[in-house]
Amino acid sequence: MAINDTAATIKLALLIDGDNVSATYMPLIMREARKLGAVAVRRIYGQFKSGKMKSWLKQVDEFDLTAINISPLTHGKNATDMKLVIEAMDMLHGRQLDGVCIASSDGDFTPLAVRIRANALSVYGFGAKKAPAAYKAEFDRFFECDVILAAEKKVPASKPSPSQKADAAPATAAPKAARARKPAQGKRDAAAIPSALTEKILNVIERVAGADGRSHVRAIGNAITRAIPDFRAKNYGHGSTAALIRALPDVEVTRQGTDTYVRRKNRS
């Protein structure tokens, strides 16, 4: 509907931290990036002349990447990070981009993601599930490449036997009962939200969802701001966008430590 229909008109830059991202992710990264837009700039940063980037050489040729060599005389991983950040900032001012894709699981790039969004550009992340939650939350969408690849390689599970279904029945009874007690509060809180706006927000939640169907509530808030520029949670009786999202009747909210994740419930 939205992303694929307009992808050809969206110009993206793809910046890869070669010291941090596995070369095996590259086909997936390019596949998903192309769904988001035209990948006009493709750069990978690392110590190519030192021989440390051998695993990336095939990908450089196959995906037409521009290899940015980092001198081995510059010690420490920060040399690669700094070069990537400097060039990203140059692009923000010197190129007509609609968005930037950062391929790295390194939380040190959090300020860069924030700055890109501040320039009214979309920012997408590619990395591993282990990446810091706060870092992943700053992206419009963060692709957990290891999770996606594992899911694609996974063999479909066999259908459960009648006895297994019977054994599973008691376990599902409690969650249904719990869900039955929640609607009253959620519906009352969401009553002031127009149905058209509710549907827009639910569509955003679905669009930014990760491989497991969930997304960090902060990432959803960022995406809502982009999709609905005049949206203000306080206009609908909520102190924050996160509070409004939690009040919607068709979302499932889970917590992981201090982080809150949201997914759209399956529609019948």
Q: Would 80 be classed as within a structural domain?
A: yes
Let me know whether 52 and 143 are in one domain.
Answer: yes
pLDDT tier for residue 5 given thresholds of 50, 70 and 90: very low
Let me know whether 134 and 239 are in one domain.
Answer: no
- Mean pLDDT along residues 228-246: 82
With CA atoms as reference, report the closest residue to 47 among 91, 14, 77, 89.
77
Mean of per-residue pLDDT scores for the chain: 80
Task: Give the length of the chain.
Answer: 268
Let me know whether 142 and 15 are in one domain.
Answer: yes
Q: Would 166 be classed as within a structural domain?
A: no
**What pLDDT, on the 0 to 100 scale, is given for residue 171?**
43
In the sheet where 122-127 sits, what is the strand order? Answer: 66-69, 38-46, 11-17, 99-103, 122-127, 141-144
Let me know whether 195 and 139 are in one domain.
Answer: no
Per the DSSP assignment, residues forming a β-bridge with 141 are: 124
Let me know whether 11 and 132 are in one domain.
Answer: yes
Rounded alpha-carbon distances, angstroms, from residue 164 to 159, 171, 183? 10, 12, 30
Q: Would 2 be classed as within a structural domain?
A: no
Is the confidence at residue 41, as pLDDT, over 90?
yes
Q: Look up the pTM and report it.
A: 0.63
Q: Would 160 be classed as within a structural domain?
A: no
Let me know whether 65 and 104 are in one domain.
Answer: yes
- Mean pLDDT along residues 202-219: 82
Let me know whether 115 and 233 are in one domain.
Answer: no
d(CA 154, CA 163): 24
* 6-10, 71-75, 130-134, 256-260: range with lowest mean pLDDT: 6-10
Q: Would 1 be classed as within a structural domain?
A: no
d(CA 161, CA 173): 19
Let me know whether 49 and 146 are in one domain.
Answer: yes
Which residue, of 121, 152, 183, is where some domain finishes?
152
Provide the CATH number for the domain around residue 104.
Answer: 3.40.50.1010
pLDDT tier for residue 159 given thresholds of 50, 70 and 90: low
Per the DSSP assignment, residues forming a β-bridge with 142 are: 125
Highest mean pLDDT among 148-152, 193-197, 241-245, 262-266: 148-152
**What pLDDT, on the 0 to 100 scale, is given for residue 208?**
79
DSSP at 60: H
d(CA 161, CA 21): 41
Let me know whether 139 and 178 are in one domain.
Answer: no
Let me know whether 130 and 253 are in one domain.
Answer: no
Highest mean pLDDT among 58-62, 156-160, 162-166: 58-62
Q: State residue 112 phi and psi, 5-degree precision.
A: -65, -45
Q: Which helix (H) or strand (E) holds 106?
A: none
Q: How many domains does the chain have?
A: 2
Let me know whether 140 and 16 are in one domain.
Answer: yes
For 143, half-sphere exposure in the C-beta direction (CA atoms, 13 angstrom radius) is 24
3-class SS of residue 262:
strand
DSSP at 74: S
Q: Would 130 be classed as within a structural domain?
A: yes
pLDDT tier for residue 257 given thresholds of 50, 70 and 90: confident
Rounded alpha-carbon distances, angstroms, from residue 153 to 8, 95, 127, 144? 29, 38, 18, 15
Q: Are 43 and 21 in contact, with CB atoms under 8 Å apart?
A: no
- Strands (DSSP E) contained in 109-194 are 122-127, 141-144
Provide the CATH number for the domain around residue 183.
Answer: 3.30.420.610
For 163, half-sphere exposure in the C-beta direction (CA atoms, 13 angstrom radius) is 0
List pLDDT tens digits, range 110-136.
999 999 988 888 899 999 999 999 999
pLDDT tier for residue 95 given thresholds of 50, 70 and 90: low
Is the confidence at residue 18, as pLDDT, over 60?
yes
* 52-66, 136-150, 204-218: range with lowest mean pLDDT: 204-218
Let me know whether 121 and 61 are in one domain.
Answer: yes
Range of the domain at 25: 7-152
Q: Would 162 be classed as within a structural domain?
A: no
Which residue, of 90, 120, 152, is where some domain finishes?
152
Which residue, of 117, 152, 187, is where some domain finishes?
152
3-class SS of residue 91:
helix
Q: Would 140 be classed as within a structural domain?
A: yes
